[in-house]
Amino acid sequence: MPGPVEYKLNILEQFQCVGEKCPQNCCRGPWSITLSPEMAARWQAETDKPELAESMEAVETTGNKEYITKKNRSTQQCILLSDEGLCNIQSRYGTEYMPEVCVRFPRFTRTSLHFELKSAWLSCPEIARLALLEQESGGLLCSADATSPIGTSNSMPLDTYSQAVHWLSKVTPAILALRKYRLGIRLYSIAWFCGRIYQCLQRAGGLDQDLVRQLKKYKNQVYETNLRIKQKKLRPDPCNAVNYWKAIASLIRQLKIRHALIELEKSDLWRTLNTEITNAAGYSTLYAKLTKHSEPANTWLQAHCRQILENYLQLVFVNAGFPWDPEGKNHAATFLFCIIPFSIVLLLCWMLYEQAAEITPAQLLTLIYTVEAKATHNNVIYDTLAADPGKYALHQYADVFIDLA
Ligand code: SF4
């Protein structure tokens, strides 16, 4: 049996940490920096390097007997980081004595049965710049086996989950590549397929034949969606849309996402999303106010920042293992884990456009790495979804994704 097909983010070799020039140093943040027991022992044993043993004072042990470096409580900064923004361990002794996570970040490897990915996190501003700003067209990933592009296996697996992986691996990259359609239209289709597949996985008996027919004709599905939107026969349901964007605003608060470019409290859109709705008509009124802000901002983004958004979406899906290796074998949850930070970025863009009447590619980039740092290195999104599994029925509210740029 052949081994996994290998894919690699094509800018990995170009990447070099920009250290003290980094606008969002990874040594600051709400995550733990762990030290392996072996490295902790090395720090203590190096008698000719007394500063290493002293550095153990900057390390604490957790209830799980894990070693983690201490953080400054107010700045969330690793206390081994110097005032100049450099790692004290690295500057004195090189990478050989650094915690493994610090050497590896932002690179990571994701391995599953058929697939191995070498990629990097978009929470690193330099990776975001190289992958999103410097890449002119798709093809962010290169494969060691050029004859096996992602998602083209033709053998039909037997169990329902493997069928789901098989079909979503075929249609997701193919739909994303249909760039003559707006992103929102393509996302509607992927979300709809994902929701229907989730529904089939809840029942015994494999994917239903109707769904398989539609998956085979995915291009027709996207074409017809576009047509129905143009003919005004399909539009987001105000109730679905308002509830979705209110949930996104709530996550912005919960994840404490703030950005110097946007004054949330002064934003009409932010106030609108925080308005209480008391009756059914309230949803239509609120949705009309939302689109008053989202439509011109989306038009601007399509004209000036489309490539960044296309690359962003492609990379967040792949990094999260969608659709080859979804979290907990749940494609719907993993789709949402990707699309929620994307939606947070868009909502911030809409507010930025409201306040500045423009969004530059560089500004969009800062919003992306800020949101990625806050939203994707913790379990908040997956935990929020797990508390409301009805959200996995994506086909029932896929219309909300039409508004995503
Ligand atoms: S976030 Fe990236 S560029 Fe910034 S300090 Fe960390 S690795 Fe270097």
SS3 sequence of 106-126: CEEEEEECCEEEEEECCCCHH
- Of the chain, the percentage scoring pLDDT greater than 70 comes to 95
Mean pLDDT (whole number) for 355-382: 96
- Say whether pLDDT at 1 is over 80: no
What is the pLDDT at residue 150?
45
* Count of CB atoms situated within 10 Å of the CB of 53: 13
Which alpha helices (H) appear in 113-159, and where do they start and end?
Answer: 125-128
Give 113's pLDDT tier (boundaries 50, 70, 90).
Answer: confident
What is the pLDDT at residue 373?
94
What is the pLDDT at residue 175?
96
Q: How many helices (H) and strands (E) does the chain have?
A: 16, 9
The tokens describing 256, both together, are 């404490």
CA–CA gap between residue 349 and residue 370 (Å, rounded): 13
3-state secondary structure at position 7: strand
End-to-end C-alpha distance for the chain, whole angstroms: 42
What is the pLDDT at residue 136?
67
What is the pLDDT at residue 29?
80
Tokens 């293992």 identify what position?
321
How far is ligand 1, taken at its centre, from the CA of residue 76, in Å? Answer: 15
What is the pLDDT at residue 395?
97
Taking the CA of residue 17 as reference, the ligand 1 atom at the shortest distance is 8
Q: pLDDT tens digits, residue range 12-54?
A: 999 999 988 999 888 888 788 888 889 988 888 888 888 888 8
C-alpha pair distances (Å), 387 with each of 118, 195, 281, 327, 383: 32, 17, 28, 16, 6
What is the pLDDT at residue 94?
86
- Say whether pLDDT at 119 is over 70: yes
- Say whether pLDDT at 198 is over 70: yes
What is the pLDDT at residue 193?
98
Mean pLDDT (whole number) for 125-149: 75
Mean pLDDT (whole number) for 335-355: 98
Residue nearest to atom 3 of ligand 1 (CA): 17
Lowest mean pLDDT among 76-90, 136-150, 340-354: 136-150
CA–CA gap between residue 224 and residue 14 (Å, rounded): 41
Lowest mean pLDDT among 78-92, 204-218, 320-334: 78-92
CA–CA gap between residue 290 and residue 118 (Å, rounded): 39
Taking the CA of residue 22 as reference, the ligand 1 atom at the shortest distance is 4
- Say whether pLDDT at 386 is over 70: yes
Tokens 């992927």 identify what position?
190
53 forms bridges with which residues in the sheet? none
- Say whether pLDDT at 260 is over 50: yes
To test the pocket of ligand 1, the residue of 9, 14, 24, 366 to mutate (highest count of ligand atoms within 8 Å of its CB) is: 24
Taking the CA of residue 123 as reference, the ligand 1 atom at the shortest distance is 1
What is the pLDDT at residue 358?
96
What is the pLDDT at residue 154?
54
Pocket flag, ligand 1, residue 126 (CB < 6 Å): yes
Pocket flag, ligand 1, residue 101 (CB < 6 Å): no
Lowest mean pLDDT among 60-74, 289-303, 305-319, 387-401: 60-74
Q: pLDDT tens digits, residue range 144-171?
A: 554 444 444 556 667 889 899 999 999 9
Mean pLDDT (whole number) for 187-191: 98
Q: Is 390 exposed, middle or buried (0-12, 13-18, 19+ CB in 10 A)?
A: exposed
Q: pLDDT tens digits, residue range 266-312?
A: 999 999 999 999 888 999 999 999 999 999 999 999 999 999 999 99
pTM for the complete prediction?
0.91
What is the pLDDT at residue 52?
86
Whole-number mean pLDDT of the chain? 90
Q: pLDDT tens digits, residue range 222-246?
A: 999 999 999 999 999 999 999 999 9
The amino acid that residue 206 corresponds to is G
Pocket flag, ligand 1, residue 227 (CB < 6 Å): no
Residue nearest to atom 2 of ligand 1 (CA): 124
